[in-house]
Each structure stands twice: as structure tokens, then as C-alpha cells.
Amino acid sequence: MAQGKRSKQEIRTLPKSPTGIPGMDEITGGGLPKGRPTLIAGAAGCGKTLFAMEFLVNGAIQYDEPGVFIAFEENAEELAQNVASLGFDLKELVRQKKLIIDYVRVERAEIQETGEYDLDGLFIRLGYAIDTIGAKRVALDTVEVLFSALSNRGILRAELQRLFRWLKDKGVSAVITAERGDGTMTRFGLEEYVADCVILLDHRVNEQMSTRRLRIVKYRGTLHGTNEYPFLITKDGISVLPITSLGLDHKAPAGRVSTGIKELDDMLGGKGYYRGSSILLSGTAGTGKSSLAASFVNAACQRGERCLYFSFEESTEQIIRNMRSIGINLSPHVKKGLLQFHVARPTLYGLEMHLITIHELIKQHEPEIVILDPITDFFAVGSQAEVKAAITRIIDFLKANQITALFTSYTEEDTPNESVVGVSSLIDTWISLRNLENRGERRRGLFVLKSRGMAHSNQIRSFELTDNGIKIGALELVGPRTLLNPA
């Protein structure tokens, strides 16, 4: 957490060095501390080297900050091969003098120690590399290798401490990777020397699901998220999830997309939903939320758009059968590959895993429309605050990708459900479905509770599920008005 009163230096807001890693800069408020060392600790295979490399490559390409990568474990050729699959062309960056990779090979077998020494050789190499290309970023991966190569721990510790201090004096933003220790953060206690920023990477398998997580253990002088953030290693590199605070700078596409029902389009300014907006369909049991979602999907697929349907209650077959009964045939869209269902019980795994699954499937399928049916089921796996945070992240992610998202939400009869209220502020268009009892008959009513950025109908309309789809019409009721709209 922020501790801003220890010295003058720390009172100022720290300048940041953006990592360019999606999600990472959001949770750190702009990146790693500029001109200071950051320790990345984690067990083998958790993504430390990749993190360090991305920090340098993004720095060199996006932020005009050349970098020096001191590799203790892999040589330049191996490193280049490892990250080539992510689209990083290290050799080209080296050629352009934006990156230097210096492979430091130390082998105990060929070294004999006699008497006093220091690590000036390493300092000089690093300093020379930094000065050659005017580097602003440095990665040391993994400096602990020195502990297995040289036996004098006392000298090593003193020299590493001097090294971190020296990096700070040089004013470079450094990333130092370290192996996770047994019961300690790093095997050789390097966290004691790096006071500014410590990030822990973790890779664990829970109930057969493997999750990578990232946690900011400390970040002096900066407010930071203290959560564990799941992250992915995708074909584009590291992506920290959930993206908590993308902010409100999404592009807002002005295009519109039909709801699949003409009368509902008419209620929404005659054109339907906004593309890339978030839509909530709330209603009590059996009011036709899924049917409304299905007509939206059906119309989209008929236009040749791709849809991804996350169902948390019904199986694919069940949904297709039910929708066929109201004249909506989804199976041709599935066969064509336009529509993809993903069916999973919310309790199957944790919220983060759901987020990751959703994220990955969206990346794979590249849909224009995503349905989550229903989001209320997530409350079975997390507290209200957690679920709200998760849904916020999903919405942010979808908006950032300009995907139109439709969420259904189950509400209790006659009680405005807390869960819906919790996320409603994030929603652009909210349609409420109600069962109305009138003259001894139950009827479905539909109204647009809100719809940002458009003139929408304020009427309550009747809503019927017929053999030929959904029919929306005028609602003629007799009785006290409070019955119609208990909210």
C-alpha cells in the first residue's frame, strides 16, 4: 500500500514506466516504478522471463525506451526462439539498437575462487550495454543463478545489494526475476533488497483447472490492487485478467443492431440496441428472457454475424428445442459455426476461471454478440461484491472489443433484486420483463427501464411467446396501476 511519509523521495507521486502488458498497467496505475528496480518472483514456468521480456520489448517498440536483457539462464538465440511465437522479433530489435541481449554464462565447474572479489565485471558489462543504446529499461533474468555459480554468499549478497542500488542511480527501470523460495518469497531473499515493487507470479492447478495468478505484494508510493489477478499467456503474450479499470474511454460505436423483434426495435428509437453496448434483460421466472435473447441471436446469425452464447442453466439441446417451440431455429447457425454455445454450471469453478474461459472463448470465436444467460447464477460462486467486480470486468472487456453483450438476470417476484441493482449502472439498455395478473389471466409485460443515448418508449407492452416467435403488442389492462409496475 502507499506509504508516503518515509522520505522526501517517496512523497512525490512516483513516475511510472508502462509495461504495455494488457491489464497490468491498469492495476498498477500506469506501470512499474520508473527508474527503480522491480522484483518479479515466481516458481519455474510461471511466466517471469516472459514478463521481463515483454516489459523490454514493449518499452522498445511502444514507448521508445531501449532495453538491456541480461540473461543468466538462456542464450540470446533461445530467448529469441521462445518469444518468436508471440510475434516478437528480437533480432530485428537488436539490429535497430533498441535491445541488447547479453547472455551471462557462469559455470561453477570452470571457476575457482581464491580471495576477495567483487562483481564489477557484471556492472561494467551492464553499464556498457546500457550506455551503448541509451537503455531506459533493464531485465535481469534470473540473477540468482549467481548463487549456484559462486560460493561466497557474503560477497554475492553485498554485491547484489550494490547492484540494485547502482541500477537505481543509473535511473533505469529494472525488472529482476527470482525463483520462489520454500516458504519465502524468493529463494535467496532478494526481496529484502528491492524495496520499491515486488510482484508475485503463481501457477497453480485447482480441480484440474490451471490458473496463472499475479499479485502485487508491494509497490511503494502507489495505490495498487491487492487482489490476486488471474493472467493468461496467450498468443499475444501476457494478459492480466480481470481488466478491472479500463476506465470509461471505450469507443462508443454509433451503429445499431436489431433486437430481432421489430416491435422492440421500435420501442428503442426504431433501430434496436447500440452496437457494442451492454444490455440487461431482467425478469421473474418464465417471463421469456432466454427467448428474447434467442431472437436477438437468431437475427444476428441470419445477418451472418457470429454469436457466443454462455448458458449457465440449460444445455445446448434444451435451448435449441425450447426455442424451436416458439419458431426460432438455432441449429442451422450452430452447424454453420456462426453460433457457439458454451454450457457450464457456475459452480463448476471459480469466478476467475469463468472470466478466463469467457475471455478465451471470445478470443477464439471472435463474436460480434455475446449472451450470458443468466448472470445471476454467478452469485452462487461469489459474494455480491466479487460478482459485481467480475461482471464489471466482463463488460469492460466486451466494450473494449466492441462486442454487443446481452445479459439475462433472474429477479424474484415483486422484489427489485439487489444483484440487478448492483450491476444496473453498468448497463446501457435495461429491459424489464414482468408477469402481470389481470382479470384472472397471467400476461407478460415488457418495458424499457432505461436505454442510454436514445429516445425510447416508456410504455409497458404485452409480450407473448407464440409458435411463430415473440409478439409484442399493446397492453390493455384494467386495474390499479401499482399492479403493473411494482417497482
Partner 1 sequence: MEKSKPRARSRRTEKNWELRLYVAGQTPKSLAAFANLKKICEEHLAGQYHIEVIDLIKKPQLASGDQILAIPTLVRKLPEPIRKIIGDLSDTERVLVGLNLREQK
Question: 121 or 479: whose CB is closer to partner 1?
Answer: 121
Helix axes 351-365, 384-400, angle to 10 degrees: 10
Instruction: Write down the least CB distance from residue 41 to partner 1, Å.
Output: 22
Spatial neighbors of 355 by CB under 8 A, at least 6 apart, are: 230, 241, 242, 390, 393, 394
Question: 114 or 208: whose CB is closer to partner 1?
Answer: 114
Instruction: Write down the least CB distance from residue 356 to partner 1, Å.
Output: 41
Instruction: Write down the least CB distance from residue 53 to partner 1, Å.
Output: 19
Instruction: Write down the least CB distance from residue 127 to partner 1, Å.
Output: 7
Give me the sign of the Cα torsion angle 65, 66, 68, 69.
positive
Instruction: Write down the least CB distance from residue 179 to partner 1, Å.
Output: 19
Question: 135, 68 in Cβ contact below 8 A?
Answer: yes
Question: 118 or 418: whose CB is closer to partner 1?
Answer: 118
Of 359, 16, 39, give the one whose Cα is nearest residue 177.
39
Question: 177, 40 in Cβ contact below 8 A?
Answer: yes
Write the CA distances from 184 to 181, 189, 212, 280, 367, integer angstroms: 5, 7, 19, 46, 44
Question: 125 or 187: whose CB is closer to partner 1?
Answer: 125
Question: 77 or 113: whose CB is closer to partner 1?
Answer: 113
Question: 155, 147 in Cβ contact below 8 A?
Answer: no
Question: 128 or 270: whose CB is closer to partner 1?
Answer: 128
- Listed as own residue / partner, the contacts of 418-426 with beta carbons closer than 8 Å and 24 or more positions apart are 418/384, 419/375, 419/376, 419/379, 419/384, 419/387, 420/280, 420/282, 420/376, 422/384, 422/387, 422/388, 423/280, 423/375, 423/388, 423/391, 423/392, 423/395, 424/280, 426/278, 426/391, 426/392, 426/395
Residues that bind partner 1 (CB under 8 A): 102, 104-106, 110-122, 124-125, 127-128, 146, 150
Instruction: Write down the least CB distance from residue 109 to partner 1, Å.
Output: 10
Length of the chain: 487
Instruction: Write down the least CB distance from residue 129 to partner 1, Å.
Output: 9
Question: 115 or 337: whose CB is closer to partner 1?
Answer: 115
Instruction: Write down the least CB distance from residue 115 to partner 1, Å.
Output: 4
Question: 116 or 169: whose CB is closer to partner 1?
Answer: 116
